[in-house]
Structure 1
Amino acid sequence: MKQIVAAEKLFTGTDWLLNHAMVVEENHIHSIVPIVSLNEKPAYQYSYIIPALIDLQIYGAGGQLLSVFPTMEALQLLQDYCIKGGAAWFQPTVATNSHEVIYACINAVRQFQQKPNNRCIGLHVEGPWINREKRGAHLSEYIYQPNKEQVTSLLEYGKGVITMITLAPEIVSSDLVEFIQSKGIVVSAGHSNADYATATKAFNEGITTATHLYNAMSPLQHRAPGMVGAIFNHPTVNCSIVPDGYHVDFEAIQIAKKQMGERLFAITDAVTETQTGPYPHQLNGDKYEANGILSGSALTMLTCLQKLHLHANIELGEAIRMCSLYPARVIQKENISGMLKPGQKADWIALDVDLSCVKAVE
């Protein structure tokens, strides 16, 4: 099936094209051409066409937190939420929890990924191999320092499902980190109290990513630059950030952006209201709290984009890249590019002049 859509402004992921059309065939981009060169009229003309967005850290939607409801239904609600919020791909996340809960989430994701047209990247396991001192809203009773047998057991059970693990590099030995990475899993440093030297060593030894900049990590201080300082100073390590104005002040996002450039990307860190399980998230305004502690956002990826552009004063194309191209680089999946280029999968969304979504990904 052939489809032609056009926009006043089309963003490929690298360039802005004015008054261009995108020709889509069999859900792949055939070509991107000036509207005036077309022999036939486009089916639609939008204000903006941009690459669909990508969320690498989200916990639940529609009142069903994945860790409480490790089911196909919960994952479908999560996918629907992500698509409505501009994301074509999502990585459901389970925070520090019991082995039984983590394994149940693995089972649910494995089953969901067998469903046609699913948009699930895989499972992000955040903890339990983290530092208690930087646990944030994570529950202390589930946190532990793993040995090789425990790591092997989880990875074998989660083979083909676990795509990312957040851990504290001062808690997990470098040989175990290397072992995890050898299985094709992205290791992200987070919930960590590592000092500058320890964090830098971990990044130099191959950890490519860090989790929610500033939150639950050793801070940047003038005599102790901590993990934040190590992230700023490292030439290659990427880091996510939660741009809701609560997890991080917008001026702090501006500072980080100047330091990190293309290495900084957005996540929603979004949860949903729940009264059961160890994480009873409650909506407080437009953020969530668990036991009185900030525990997650109410963001979508599109609201991430909007806040980065409108409140952190990041140029629109760069804000889009922080929500699409840069997460794609982190997760490194062949079919997820975060770009609009001929020959690639046609994962695109359309926005109006107010940057609201008027056409979600199909």
Structure 2
Amino acid sequence: MKIAYKNGTLFTGEHIETGKAILVNDNTIVGLTDEGSIPSDYQISDLEGLQVAPAFIDLQIYGGDGKLFSAELSIEAIEATYRYCLRGGCSRFMLTMATNSMETFLKGIELVKEYWDKGGKGLLGFHMEGPYLNPVKKGAHVEKWIKKPSVEEVSLVLEKGKGALKMMTIAPEVCSDEVIQLLLNSGIIVSAGHSNATYAEAMRGFNMGIPTATHLFNAMSPLQSREPGLVGAIYNHDRVRSSIVGDGIHVDFASLSISKKLMGERLFFITDAVTETSKGDYQHILRGDRYTLPNGTLSGSALTMMESVKNGVKHAGIALEEALRMASTYPGQLIKDQLLAGRIAPGYTAEFVVFNDRFEVVRVIGH
């Protein structure tokens, strides 16, 4: 079906356009045209003067609407997570599971495949956050499941995860060169996190090709005068990206602002969102605007991607266009080998978030 979306303020991922229509054919963007030059064979969809941007992409979310994936392990939990994402303007997500038993991880992978087989939408793949982490920086992760990787086990995970496992967070200092290279060669996105790496250990991993890091500042060795740690390595490596949780709780808004000035387009938003549950190893309790474990440890956010954008603009001094890139264009660059998303440009998937001046999501198009 050919559809022309008109009468909106468009942010393409590069700049803002007015008086333009987005031409879409079979869920793929054909291009932009003047509103007065829409071809006659296109059906018109009125954007009602609202703002339009590429739909958001969340590379780290654990569940939604009371269904934590690791506790529920069901298609229904994936569907609930997708609904939660859509309410925040996010059309694509990486379903994430924190450190768990290998049996639970592999069951999660199989459910991702089953969800796709049944025509499920929005899901980019499976993000294994663990178990190859540093227990010193376990954060809310369950220590009994944390381990050092062997080539044999990693090879098994990659084989079982083929097609569904798309991302893995590791602590580079607990992984051998052989393991890191094996992961990189598999084509999944490897991210450094839950790590107590020295600056040298972190740079070793980044120089091998690790492209990104997981939730900047949280559960990682800090930047200090005599030991720059993982944070320092992220700042100082001009190719490495990092996600950040923009709720003002995981990271102070001033730290978000400073990091944005230092990293530019290398910094992007995730929600790191969990959901309330009393089942399994991860029992998240909603305490106001955050989730904690029963012992009070911060265990996840209550964010949506649109709230991340709003916080970046309102509290960290980030321009609207740049905050939108941090939620769409920049994470889209990490998944570009899988899907062209995060921009309004020819050839890209036609998925848009429509929102008002109060940062309220009106609808998500193309999901």
TM-score normalised by length of structure 2: 0.95
Contact 1:46–1:350 (CA under 8 A) maintained in structure 2: no
- Counterpart in 2 of 1:53? 56
CA shift for structure 1 position 8: 4.1
- Give distance in 2, aligned partners of 1:83 and 1:336: 19
- Counterpart in 2 of 1:140? 143
CA shift for structure 1 position 59: 0.2
Say whether residues 1:166 and 2:169 are aligned partners: yes
Q: Which amino acid aligns with 1:310?
A: K
CA shift for structure 1 position 329: 1.1
Change (3 A) 1:80 1:336: farther
CA shift for structure 1 position 57: 0.3
* Residue-by-residue CA offset, 1:1-31 (whole Å, 9 max, x unaligned): 2322224421111111122211222222223
- Give distance in 2, aligned partners of 1:42 and 1:185: 39
Contact 2:92–2:122 (CA under 8 A) maintained in structure 1: yes
Structure 2 SS opposite 1:339? coil
Among 65, 89, 103, the alignment partner of 2:68 is 65
CA shift for structure 1 position 38: 4.2
* Residue-by-residue CA offset, 1:87-112 (whole Å, 9 max, x unaligned): 11000000001112111111111111
- Give distance in 2, aligned partners of 1:360 and 1:347: 7
Q: Number of paired residues?
A: 362
Say whether residues 1:191 and 2:190 are aligned partners: no
Say whether residues 1:100 and 2:103 are aligned partners: yes
Structure 2 SS opposite 1:259? helix
Say whether residues 1:86 and 2:84 are aligned partners: no
- Counterpart in 2 of 1:43? 45
Q: Which amino acid aligns with 1:199?
A: A
- Give distance in 2, aligned partners of 1:133 and 1:306: 33
- Give distance in 1, aligned partners of 2:238 and 2:30: 36
- Counterpart in 1 of 2:303? 299
* Residue-by-residue CA offset, 1:266-312 (whole Å, 9 max, x unaligned): 00000000001111000000110013100000111111111111111
Contact 2:67–2:277 (CA under 8 A) maintained in structure 1: yes
Structure 1 residue ranges without an equivalent (≥5): none
- Name which of structure 1's ranges 90-99 and 12-21 shifts more when overlaid on structure 2: 12-21
- Give distance in 2, aligned partners of 1:331 and 1:38: 31
CA shift for structure 1 position 343: 3.0
Among 152, 155, 161, the alignment partner of 1:152 is 155
Structure 2 SS opposite 1:49? strand
Say whether residues 1:119 and 2:122 are aligned partners: yes
- Give distance in 1, aligned partners of 2:268 and 2:55: 14
* Superposed structure 1 runs of 4+ greater than 6 Å apart: none
Contact 1:134–1:193 (CA under 8 A) maintained in structure 2: yes
Contact 2:126–2:164 (CA under 8 A) maintained in structure 1: yes
* Residue-by-residue CA offset, 1:231-255 (whole Å, 9 max, x unaligned): 0011100000000010000000011
- Counterpart in 2 of 1:341? 345
Say whether residues 1:259 and 2:231 are aligned partners: no
- Counterpart in 2 of 1:322? 326
- Give distance in 1, aligned partners of 2:99 and 2:45: 47
- Give distance in 2, aligned partners of 1:267 and 1:357: 17
- Counterpart in 2 of 1:310? 314
- Name which of structure 1's ranges 43-52 and 83-92 shifts more when overlaid on structure 2: 43-52
Q: Which amino acid aligns with 1:352?
A: N
Structure 1 SS opposite 2:167? strand
- Counterpart in 1 of 2:2? 2
Contact 1:21–1:42 (CA under 8 A) maintained in structure 2: no
In angstroms, what is the RMSD of aligned CA positions?
1.4
Contact 1:7–1:49 (CA under 8 A) maintained in structure 2: no
- Counterpart in 2 of 1:278? 281
Q: Which amino acid aligns with 1:107?
A: E
Change (3 A) 1:334 1:159: closer
Structure 2 residue ranges without an equivalent (≥5): none
- Give distance in 1, aligned partners of 2:335 and 2:150: 26
Change (3 A) 1:14 1:149: same
Among 338, 351, 356, the alignment partner of 2:360 is 356
* Residue-by-residue CA offset, 1:221-240 (whole Å, 9 max, x unaligned): 11111110110011100000
* Residue-by-residue CA offset, 1:105-143 (whole Å, 9 max, x unaligned): 111111112232511111000011000100001111111
CA shift for structure 1 position 313: 1.3
Structure 1 SS opposite 2:124? coil
- Counterpart in 1 of 2:29? 29
Identity of aligned residues (%): 45
Change (3 A) 1:334 1:149: closer
Say whether residues 1:12 and 2:12 are aligned partners: yes
Structure 1 SS opposite 2:91? strand
Contact 2:4–2:38 (CA under 8 A) maintained in structure 1: no
Structure 2 SS opposite 1:170? helix
TM-score normalised by length of structure 1: 0.97
